[in-house]
Homo-oligomer: A and B are copies of this chain.
Amino acid sequence: MRILIVEDEKPLREQILSLMATEKYACDAAADGREGLFLGSEYDYDLAIIDLGLPLLDGTQLIRELRAKERNFPILILTARGNWQDKVSGLEAGADDYLTKPFHPEELRARIHALLRRASGHASSVLRYGPITIDTSAKRVHRDETEVELTSFEYNTLTYLALHAGKNISKSELTEHLYAQDYDRDSNVIEVFVGRLRKKLDPDGSLNLISTQRGLGYRFNLDKQ
C-alpha cells in the first residue's frame, strides 16, 4: 500500500511517517500543497493524508484539484480542533474522512485501516479466499487452519494481489504500490516474492493461487467469499 502524506509541520509529518513505517506502508511525504499536488498527480496512491492548513496551496483546493484529475484514492484530512466548517468543506471537496488534531496514533491507524478496507470494497478485516485467509488487522495468513508465516514483503505482495483478485496486476504496478518513490526498476524482486508466496501457500500448485500472464503480470486466482 502506498500512501501520500501532505503535512507542513515537520514533527507531525515525521510522526505519521514513522507510524506508517511500522505498518510497512510505502510513503511519500510533501511539506506543502503544491508539492502534494505534484506527487498526487504523478503517482497512483492507495490513500492520502492531507492537512487542511497548508502553505502555497490550501488543502481543500488541493483535494479539489486531485479529484478533478480523476485521482480517486481515499483522502483523510487533518484539521485543527473545533472548526467543523473546515471538515465540512474538505469533505465536500472530495475527502472521505477526517481526523482532528491532536489525535491518538491508534486512532489514525484504525481510520486508515477502515479507509483502505472500504476502498477495496471489503467490509470485514478478514479476507477469505477458499482455503486462504488473510486477517488484515492482525496481518496474519492461514491456509486451512494452519498459520503460514510470511515476511512483511511477502504479506504486502499477497494482500495487494488478493485485494485485486481476478485482475492482472503488472509487476510495475506492484512495485509502485509496495515501494516508495524512485525504485530501481530492472530488478526481479517481485518475481522472487511471488515465487516465495507460491512455495509457502501452494507448494504443489494445486490451488493455482497466483498465475502469471506473460507480459501482463500476475493474477490472484481465488474468489473472495
| Chain A interface residues toward B at CB < 8 A | 67-68, 70-72, 74, 84, 87-88, 91-92, 94-97, 104, 106-107, 110-111, 113-114, 118-119, 121-125, 135, 137-140, 151-153, 155, 166-168, 213-217, 219
Contact = CB atoms under 8 A, between A and B. Distances in A.
Contact of A168 (B114, B121, B140): B140
Copies in the complex: 2
Contact of A216 (B94, B123, B155, B216): B155
A137 B152 CA distance: 26
Nearest to A170: B139
B151 A167 contact: no
A95 B139 CA distance: 19
Nearest to A135: B167
Given A123-B67, A124-B68, A110 B139 contact: no
Contacts of A124: 67-68, 94
Task: Enumerate the 4 nearest inter-chain pairs by beta-carbon distance, A residue then B residue, closest first.
Answer: A152-B215, A138-B167, A139-B168, A88-B110
A88 B95 CA distance: 20
Contacts of A138: 166-168, 219
Contact of A107 (B88, B137, B214): B88
A178 to B, nearest CB: 13
A118 B96 contact: yes
A156 B3 CA distance: 30
B214 A94 contact: no
A213 B138 CA distance: 11
A110 B60 CA distance: 14
B87 A118 contact: no
Nearest to A119: B118
A216 B152 contact: yes
A66 to B, nearest CB: 9
Contacts of A107: 84, 87-88
Contacts of A155: 216
